[in-house]
Amino acid sequence: MHPTATDPDAAAQTPVNLHSLGRVRVLQALTDAPALSRAELVRRTGLARATVGSVILELITAGLVRESADGVPSGQRAGRPPQLVSLDPEAGYAVGLDVGHDHVRVILTDVVGTSRWDRSETIAVDDDPERALDTAVRLITSAVQDTAVPPEKILGLGLGIACPVDKATGGLRAEGIMPGWVGTRPADVLAERTGLPTRIINDANAGVLAERRFGAARDCANVVYVRLAAGIGAGMMSDGRMLLGHLGLAGELGHVVVDLFGAVCRCGGRGCLETVASPAAITGLLARSWGQPVGSVDLAALLRRGDRGALRAVEDAGEAVGRALSTVVSLLNPELVVIGGDLVEAGEALLEPMRRTLNRGTMGSLHQRLRIVPSLLGDSAGARGAAALVLDGVPEQLGK
């Protein structure tokens, strides 16, 4: 018997709303897999077949899921065509915002994560949070207007930011990283200005979410994502769970020391990986040797031309990342390392020395089955991962 409002004893013994729980379980299963038969939904949710049937009917009526034939030609079918249930992509939308050191990017996705709008603007972010947030709000407004998505269907805003994020408070640990942002609470500001429920995450953690859901790490439960950009950071998943650490600051790979006598880092340390392997560090090396400024665009062109100095600088950076990753791999035993960020455009010139150094620095059993691959999502990983943070809450949000 179902508890009802007039049955207080039953309600007291059953604090969980079982009906809602069924909806949430079905929506979760459909979030994890793009299309499922009713039999598969029964298996994955552990719900009775009749319950799955009534939940699907409700969700179809509410416009949240749809049912369609599986594509088998009718002549080859015996009996009733099998139907597959999937989320209706237009059941809801998410906004993903990536705030890097030198850009602001906004993506609007549907509920299955397909990008419907995507724009990036280059601006200097570190010292001017107001301008960066103004830019973000303007881009979000354009995204909603251009796509004509009903605002009430936008489930939330995810903010990925190139700065350590305190997991308990959502506050930034911006000292030395994004100096102008110390003491700011960008998620609160954006929630107020956009009216959207807003969640915040470090950009490398957003990257691992995105690669696992949409990119190179699909179906990988043990994965490290490394972002080699103006800042260097890592997002790590172990047995499918994100590793955030005590405060949420785990994965600061860019501030692992790789050269005791190296340059002083913006964090106050010396010889951090970021001082050796960020694109700015590499172009800085070339600028010193040539006596003239070298931009990041120039680096890509130099590598294509096979410039020996550029190749050497990238090779050394790859080795430094490989050394830092040796420790990560020895501690976490991932099956996959995904390399993202601007520098991955260097391709094998970067990845080959990285693999070589990593193999030298780890036990054979740790690296023999380890794959190191470039990101499939490229520059969009941060914004798509921030949107994925919202999409992760879809079953609970829509199933209530």
Which positions lie near Zn ion, rule CB under 5 A? 255, 265, 267, 269, 272
Q: 128 vs 23, 101, 102, 179, 336, CA distance in Å?
A: 44, 10, 11, 9, 36
Give whichever of 229 and 351 is closer to Zn ion, judged by the CB atom.
229
Smallest gap, in angstroms, from Cβ of residue 269 to Zn ion?
Answer: 4
Which are the contacts of 196, defined by CB distance < 8 A and separation ≥ 6?
95, 140, 154, 156, 157, 190
Nearest CA-CA partner of 269 in 279, 278, 260: 260
Give whichever of 91 and 172 is closer to Zn ion, judged by the CB atom.
172
Structure tokens at 327: 């420790």
Smallest gap, in angstroms, from Cβ of residue 175 to Zn ion?
Answer: 11
Please identify which residue in the block is written with the tokens 């603007």. 121
Structure tokens at 335: 């099956």
Q: 18 vs 59, 280, 333, CA distance in Å?
A: 15, 54, 39
Give whichever of 140 and 277 is closer to Zn ion, judged by the CB atom.
277
Nearest CA-CA partner of 56 in 65, 44, 45, 47: 65
Smallest gap, in angstroms, from Cβ of residue 273 to Zn ion?
Answer: 8
* Strand, helix or coil for residue 33: coil
Give whichever of 90 and 175 is closer to Zn ion, judged by the CB atom.
175
State the sign of the Cα–Cα–Cα–Cα dihedral 66, 67, 69, 71. positive
Q: 329 vs 111, 240, 397, CA distance in Å?
A: 34, 16, 36
Smallest gap, in angstroms, from Cβ of residue 226 to Zn ion?
Answer: 15
Q: Give the 3-state secondary structure percentages of the chain, helix then strand then coil, rounded to 5.
A: 50, 20, 35
Give whichever of 255 and 355 is closer to Zn ion, judged by the CB atom.
255
Smallest gap, in angstroms, from Cβ of residue 233 to Zn ion?
Answer: 11
Beta bridge mates, 224: 236, 337
Smallest gap, in angstroms, from Cβ of residue 100 to Zn ion?
Answer: 17
Give whichever of 35 and 267 is closer to Zn ion, judged by the CB atom.
267
Give whichever of 265 and 388 is closer to Zn ion, judged by the CB atom.
265
CB 310 within 8 A of CB 303: yes
Give whichever of 190 and 276 is closer to Zn ion, judged by the CB atom.
276
Smallest gap, in angstroms, from Cβ of residue 341 to Zn ion?
Answer: 16
Smallest gap, in angstroms, from Cβ of residue 177 to Zn ion?
Answer: 9
